[in-house]
């Protein structure tokens, strides 16, 4: 690809100076990952939204922007690092990341197509779809846009027995409009230890957004609390043994125009007795308990709106929050 040799040139002096290693460029079999967009496959002013969906799968669908987005990456080279004392570490692939955007008119006919390089965060997409005003709002981080405090609870049980401190077992990520559908770590708000230990989380969202939540296994180190589980194993072994399906569909939440919203209680449990494989198949409504938690954290809160999360299959659908319209 275009810049692999530049990366290699930068790595060579760093490796030689720091650890006595050498970096060599290496050709690799061509591979591509993601949802590629082929410009020549479509006709502006003729191709329709349904035709595009029948022949290609977008990475994201921007619902009210009437646009499809495609993310993919490709590689045909690598940098192989050889440490003087230890030998080769193996090739590290060089990737070129790409982004494609198709826009449709009010009749769902293609009106534009754009393909370019994709950075880790690229708000040029918003400018392409809605004009520079949206991109400017995203850049102006000091602007105090309205926020919604979202409340949820997580519980985990093995063979019908609930585990203590369920938050220790998971990592939480969310995706929405401002992350361009890319999952980022949830920034939790402070909550009293007794509520946190019971699995409650408070984080921020934006009114009007369609927010997605994903759960993955925690990378926390085990901690010994001096107890054994139902199988007689030390409780601390759970943190490194609990397994969550790698490609679990995310949960979506329609964020209403409200200051405090409860999105549900996520129940993780094992399906087979003695198994450490857990999954969440339903979200419970514990809004009465949620109101007690919100009242402690936000005494000024007058109302708690319930908007329970639902499972969502690919592709991710974006909606524009009210503040950006």
| pLDDT tens per residue, range 79-134 | 655 555 445 456 677 778 888 889 899 999 999 888 877 764 445 555 555 555 55
Q: How far apart are CA 225 and CA 240, in angstroms?
A: 15
Q: Identify the residue whose tokens are 């072994």.
A: 237
Reported confidence tier of residue 235, pLDDT bands at 50, 70, 90: very low
Is 169 within 8 Å of 238 (Cβ atoms)?
A: yes
Question: Residue 298: how many CB atoms within 10 A of its CB?
Answer: 16
Reported confidence tier of residue 254, pLDDT bands at 50, 70, 90: very high
- Dump pLDDT digits (tens) for 57-72: 898 898 887 889 888 8
Name the 3-class secondary structure at 266: strand
Name the 3-class secondary structure at 104: strand
Q: Is the pLDDT of residue 33 over 60?
A: yes
β-pairing verdict for 110-117 and 170-175: unpaired
pLDDT at position 108: 94
Reported confidence tier of residue 222, pLDDT bands at 50, 70, 90: very low
The residue among 30 and 87 whose pLDDT is bigger is 30
pLDDT at position 227: 47
Q: Identify the residue whose tokens are 């591509």.
A: 32
How many CA atoms does the CB half-sphere of 251 hold within 13 Å? 23
β-pairing verdict for 161-162 and 210-217: unpaired
- Dump pLDDT digits (tens) for 296-315: 999 888 899 999 999 988 78
pLDDT at position 219: 54
Question: Residue 38: how many CB atoms within 10 A of its CB?
Answer: 12
pLDDT at position 115: 84
**Candidate from 15-19, 215-219, 307-311 with smallest mean pLDDT:** 15-19
Count Cβ atoms within 10 A of the Cβ of residue 91 and give its class: 0-12 exposed, 13-18 middle, 19 or more buried: middle
Q: Is the pLDDT of residue 25 over 90?
A: no
Average pLDDT rounded to a whole number, residues 139-148: 62
pLDDT at position 32: 85
Q: Identify the residue whose tokens are 């979202």.
A: 150
């Amino acid at each position: 690809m275009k810049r692999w040799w530049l990366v290699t040139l930068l790595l060579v002096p760093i490796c030689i100076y720091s650890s006595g290693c050498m970096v060599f460029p290496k050709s690799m079999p061509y591979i591509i990952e993601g949802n590629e967009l082929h410009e020549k496959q479509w006709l502006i002013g003729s191709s329709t939204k349904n035709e595009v969906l029948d022949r290609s799968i977008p990475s994201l669908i921007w619902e009210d922007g009437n646009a499809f987005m495609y993310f993919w990456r490709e590689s045909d080279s690598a940098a192989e690092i050889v440490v003087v004392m230890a030998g080769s570490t193996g090739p590290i692939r060089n990737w070129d990341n790409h982004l494609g955007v198709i826009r449709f008119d009010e009749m769902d006919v293609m009106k534009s197509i754009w393909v370019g390089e994709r950075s880790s965060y690229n708000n040029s997409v918003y400018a392409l779809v809605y004009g520079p005003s949206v991109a400017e709002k995203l850049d102006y981080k000091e602007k105090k846009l309205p926020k919604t405090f979202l409340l949820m609870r997580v519980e985990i049980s093995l063979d019908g027995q609930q585990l203590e401190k369920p938050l220790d077992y998971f990592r939480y990520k969310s995706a929405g409009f401002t992350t361009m559908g890319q999952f980022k770590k949830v920034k939790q708000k402070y909550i009293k230890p007794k509520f946190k230990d019971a699995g409650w989380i408070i984080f921020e969202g934006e009114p009007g957004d369609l927010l997605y939540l994903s759960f993955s296994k925690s990378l926390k180190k085990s901690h010994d609390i001096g107890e054994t589980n139902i199988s007689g194993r030390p409780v601390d072994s759970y943190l490194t043994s609990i397994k969550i399906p790698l490609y679990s569909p995310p949960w979506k939440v329609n964020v209403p125009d409200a200051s405090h919203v409860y999105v549900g209680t996520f129940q993780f449990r094992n399906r087979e007795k003695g198994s450490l494989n857990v999954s969440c198949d339903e979200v419970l409504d514990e809004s009465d308990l949620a109101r007690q938690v919100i009242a402690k954290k936000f005494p000024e809160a007058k109302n708690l709106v319930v908007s329970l999360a639902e499972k969502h299959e690919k592709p991710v659908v974006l909606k524009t929050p009210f503040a950006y319209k």
